[in-house]
Amino acid sequence: MTSTVLVTGATGTVGSALLDALTDRDATVRAATRSPPGTGPADEWVAFDFEKPETWGDALAGVDALFVMRPPQLSRVGPVRAFVDAAGRVGVDRCVVLSVLGADRNPLLPHRRIERHVAASPLRWTFLRPSFFTQNLVEVHGDALARGEIPVPAGDGRTSFVDARDVAAVAAVALTEPGHAGVAYDLTGPEALTYDEVAAVASDVLGSPVAYTDPSLPRFVVRELRRGRPLGFTLVMSGIYTTARLGLAGRVTGAVERVLGRPPRDVRAFFEDYGDERTASRRLHGE
Ligand SMILES: NC(=O)c1ccc[n+]([C@@H]2O[C@H](COP(=O)([O-])OP(=O)(O)OC[C@H]3O[C@@H](n4cnc5c(N)ncnc54)[C@H](OP(=O)(O)O)[C@@H]3O)[C@@H](O)[C@H]2O)c1
């Protein structure tokens, strides 16, 4: 029987890639957003807000498998946990949680608090703990990249960048195939690069110079705030880049390859696809 999969965060970086990854699966895909109709290859779009329980019933009706992410915009974990409880009550069978690398070592992280809640629920669970998304280089720092800069305070530290499309591909497998219940996957790319190395790859692939500027932490914070970035997000980014600077973000695992049967995309492959998309978009706009 065809199962029904509910994707929360369906308009986000991982969620939108998950809709793509689910297209060749035998599943009815229901995509959740606060502002439907969204765009993308879903069978159904549903209005859904973690903070509005009155939207949960329609979203959960007939669902077998659930992809749960914690929106960065949501400061509290309570609504996500209450939604998981609701999913358990209406008989959802399995739940794939988008967590973060290192969550198992940090009980204070909201992701870990959600993981623990899901583990105590009747749902069969799979936790995905990804490293830093390669997509951040263009989605968070795209303006700077367009000026030929990567302005993050990560020193010479290495990061095991993971492509969000690979995270989504693993999620699609765990949502639709047996054998992944009760497993936590630490998802990284195939290599750990310094930001100098990332800049060299970007320069080479995009055909224009990109420099890693490595600002001091205070300079980074001031500049991000001046650009209108929220304080909370700026502090989270500062923590992530400090972790890299301290040499704590470079662990590489083989989990993506074990689940997908192929190696994860590397940073070069990411920039090649990004360069192709940028060229296609410029052609479309007559630039
Ligand atoms: N970026 C990284 O490097 C990284 C690495 C590891 C883990 N993570 C984790 O991944 C998660 C973020 O995933 P992402 O990057 O795919 O998301 P994203 O691109 O930041 O998108 C956020 C999503 O959350 C939805 N959303 C926001 N508020 C909502 C609400 N109140 N109710 C329901 N949906 C809401 C948005 O949908 P609408 O606006 O359409 O409603 C959107 O689809 C976070 O938990 C983050 O900690 C990120």
- Quick check: 5 pLDDT over 90? yes
The closest-lying atom of ligand 1 relative to the alpha carbon of residue 34 is 41
> What is the average per-residue pLDDT within 160-178?
98
Do 89 and 151 lie in one domain? The reply is: no
> What is the average per-residue pLDDT within 43-50?
97
- Quick check: 197 pLDDT over 80? yes
Do 111 and 79 lie in one domain? The reply is: yes
- Cα of 286 vs centre of ligand 1, distance in Å, is 32
Q: What lines the ligand 1 site, CB under 6 Å?
A: 8-15, 33-35, 48-51, 69-74, 98, 100, 130, 132-133, 136
Do 95 and 152 lie in one domain? The reply is: no
Do 117 and 141 lie in one domain? The reply is: no
Is 18 domain-assigned?
A: yes
Q: Which of 108, 130, 152 is the last residue of a domain?
A: 130
Q: What integer pLDDT is reported at residue 261 of this predicted model?
A: 98
Do 141 and 101 lie in one domain? The reply is: no
Is 183 domain-assigned?
A: no
Do 105 and 139 lie in one domain? The reply is: no
pLDDT tens-digit series, residues 111-138:
999 999 999 999 999 999 999 999 999 9
Do 89 and 218 lie in one domain? The reply is: no
Is 256 domain-assigned?
A: no
Confidence class for position 258, pLDDT limits 50, 70, 90: very high
Q: What is the mean pLDDT of the chain?
A: 96
- Quick check: 101 pLDDT over 90? yes
What CATH number has the domain bearing residue 36? 3.40.50.720
Is 170 domain-assigned?
A: no
Do 103 and 193 lie in one domain? The reply is: no
Q: Tokens 């992410």 correspond to what residue?
A: 69
